[in-house]
Amino acid sequence: MSDYAAPLADIRFALSQIAGLDNVLSLQGFEDLTPDLIDAVLDEAGKFASGVLAPLSRVGDTQGARLENGVVRMPDGFPEAYKAYVDGGWNGPVFDPERGGQGLPWLVGTALNEIWGSANLGFSLGPLLTQGAVELLEAHASAEQKDTYLENMITGRWTGTMNLTEPQAGSDVGALRTKAVKEGDHYRISGQKIFISYGDHEMVENIVHLVLARTEGAPEGIKGISLFIVPKYLVNADGSLGQRNDLRPGSLEHKMGIHASPTAVMLYGENEGAVGYLIGEECRGIEYMFTMMNNARLGVGLQGLSVAERAYQQAVAFAKERVQMRDAVNGGKEGVTIIHHPDVRRMLMRMRAQVEAMRCLAYEAAAGLDLAKRLADPDARKLAQRRVDLLIPIVKAWSTDVGQEVASTNVQVHGGMGFIEETGAAQHYRDVRIAAIYEGTNGIQSIDLVGRKLGRDGGEAMGLLAAEIAATVETLRAQDDADLSAIVAPLSEGLASLERTTRWMVGHIGQNPGEALAGATSYMKLAGYVVGGWYMARSALATVGSGDAFSVQKRQIARFFAEQLIPEGVAMERPITTGGALVAGMSVDAF
């Protein structure tokens, strides 16, 4: 597998020119942070990723996590890497320094998570889930629960998990059967959960499971679900660890990819019942869990970017060294490296354009989290949250779909060698495949975008975004630059298509939901490519007046995205507006 180098120039550009790092650093609570400090953090993260995490990615894939006599063993080097990760202060960068965090913005934390995911996706899943669990506890746990769990989780001494799925209850969480019986100041939890990432391992002293369960007498469906803290080891009043709780990993899943991540079947309450502590109030578990799920969906979308970046780097490295055939453009009798061939260049440019658009999208969503939490004006906070809510399903679904495509293109660039495991190209393809499935399948994200986000406000939030895209188009028109001028027509066409289909969706989601939902995935693709093209146009505008190679390439890649990729989104308009009736109306017996 090729080496990984964090793309710090591109990361810094997206942070400053697209996501508005300066604006984020001006928010309350970030007064002591400076761009120079953020640069230093990114530099050190890049060194740690390339020097410690990236070399273990192949090890994790080939060895995998394994369950031996009830104990989960991690691949060679992972425990030592985790200790170094924690000792370096990387586990809780966005959390309260008084509880062991670094107090950085979510925007910067998202850039760090991109780096960890590119270097070693299997490793990065554990800290990502812990971050989500911490955010949930910060928002909904009692003061006593926060004092008991947060500092150890933020510093990385303990990790956290999310327990939703059961064999009969996948995306339909309301069908879960795990029970919670009240017993004094706690509950006894019994049931089975599946697909629990980092459900068990020996790299930390304790694991804090956040478990959805149904209390006695609770209503059926999601309205009757509560959320519980169920620690692997009970915590004594003085903070020390007590006896082992009644839970264990029953098995580890044998997965297509992310082999280093121990994905467990977790068994609760086989004996006296696992001790669990209610978070908040009974029957509000789904509401609380969505705090963690929204965080996780941004993180999963980021995984599409992370793997795509790694795959792109590998494809470029291979294309620059693989000699095949003569140069069909410039002539000559000798074979040349394949990067000289136009179709290979096309693939590499497509990969790069997609990676850069995904990065801008994820970073702006992350910046929105900071704005929604810290802006002084309550109305401005609500507006920022509204934008985040609109972008999150696009980040998750579009970015993971595109991440799969980029990983597949990497295999194609490698040719036959891409089909051979030793090159590592296949690992990226296998690893990223799950991202379109977990934390809500991409079809569910598309339904969320259409049914909830457009349906909730009649498309108003999307309309505000469209107005910003229109303003960017007008700014492009005023530029005297061939690359920028070439972006105007495709982006204008994409915007017009997005506006038409949004109106169509808003008009159909209430009266003809079957037709609207049948086109939801196509609408998601259209939105992804148009919004992605907008970010690329903004990237190009940020380089106006600069003639250095980096700036010229930004303009060229933005033009490529507009001319080659936005039309693919526009092509979704007909499937969105005409195919739904046929899909919704076809007899089940016809399949």
Q: Which amino acid is at 39?
A: D
The mean pLDDT value for 324-351 works out to 88
Note whether 263 and 195 are within 8 A (CB). yes
Task: Read off the pLDDT of residues 460-488 as tens digits, 9 standing for 90 and up.
Answer: 999 999 999 999 999 999 999 999 999 99
**Residue 170 CB burial class (10 angstroms; 0-12, 13-18, ≥19):** middle
DSSP, collapsed to helix, strand or coil, labels residue 210 as: strand
Cα radius of gyration (the chain) = 24
Residue 206 burial (CB count, 10 A): 18
What letter would DSSP give residue 166? B
Residue 370: inside a domain, yes or no? no
Q: Which amino acid is at 171?
A: S
Residues 180 and 259 reside in one and the same domain: yes
**pLDDT of amino acid 382:** 96
Tell me the CA distances in angstroms from 125 to 122, 162, 442, one per residue in order.
6, 12, 19
| Domain count within the chain | 3
Residue 462: inside a domain, yes or no? yes
Note whether 208 and 160 are within 8 A (CB). yes
Residue 374 burial (CB count, 10 A): 17
Residues 128 and 168 reside in one and the same domain: no
Residue 529: inside a domain, yes or no? yes
Whole-angstrom Cα distance, residue 268 to residue 193? 8
The mean pLDDT value for 349-370 works out to 98
Which two structure tokens, joined as six digits, stand for 383? 């507006």
Residue 501: inside a domain, yes or no? yes
Which two structure tokens, joined as six digits, stand for 76? 């060679």
Q: Which of 32, 158, 49 is nearest to 104 (CA)?
A: 32
Residue 61: inside a domain, yes or no? yes
Residues 128 and 163 reside in one and the same domain: no
**pLDDT of amino acid 358:** 98
From 226, 251, 283, the end of a domain falls on 283
Residue 1: pLDDT band with limits 50, 70, 90: low
**pLDDT of amino acid 2:** 72
Residues 194 and 123 reside in one and the same domain: no
Q: Which of 106, 79, 37, 10 is nearest to 367 (CA)?
A: 106
Residues 445 and 577 reside in one and the same domain: yes
Task: Read off the pLDDT of residues 169-221 as tens digits, 9 standing for 90 and up.
Answer: 777 778 899 999 999 999 999 999 999 999 999 999 999 999 999 999 999 99
Residues 51 and 163 reside in one and the same domain: no
Residue 308: inside a domain, yes or no? no
From 219, 254, 283, the end of a domain falls on 283
**pLDDT of amino acid 499:** 98
Global pTM value: 0.96
**pLDDT of amino acid 77:** 98
What letter would DSSP give residue 74? P
**Residue 427 CB burial class (10 angstroms; 0-12, 13-18, ≥19):** buried
Task: Read off the pLDDT of residues 254-301 as tens digits, 9 standing for 90 and up.
Answer: 999 999 999 999 999 999 999 999 999 999 999 998 877 777 899 999
**pLDDT of amino acid 267:** 98
Residue 331: pLDDT band with limits 50, 70, 90: confident
Residues 168 and 58 reside in one and the same domain: no
Longest dimension (CA), the chain: 84
DSSP, collapsed to helix, strand or coil, labels residue 219 as: coil
Residue 373: inside a domain, yes or no? no
Mean model confidence pLDDT for the chain: 95
Q: Which residue has the higher pLDDT, 1 or 445?
A: 445
Please give the positions annotated as active site: 439
Q: Which of 44-53, 170-179, 389-398, 487-496 has the lowest mean pLDDT?
A: 170-179
Residue 181: inside a domain, yes or no? yes
From 283, 298, 320, the end of a domain falls on 283
Residues 449 and 581 reside in one and the same domain: yes
Length of the chain: 591
Could you list the residue range(s) of the whole structural domain that residue 555 is in?
Answer: 441-585
- Cβ within 8 Å of residue 111, ≥6 positions away: 11, 14, 15, 42, 363
**pLDDT of amino acid 171:** 75
Residues 448 and 576 reside in one and the same domain: yes
DSSP, collapsed to helix, strand or coil, labels residue 499 as: helix
**pLDDT of amino acid 556:** 97
Residues 124 and 200 reside in one and the same domain: no
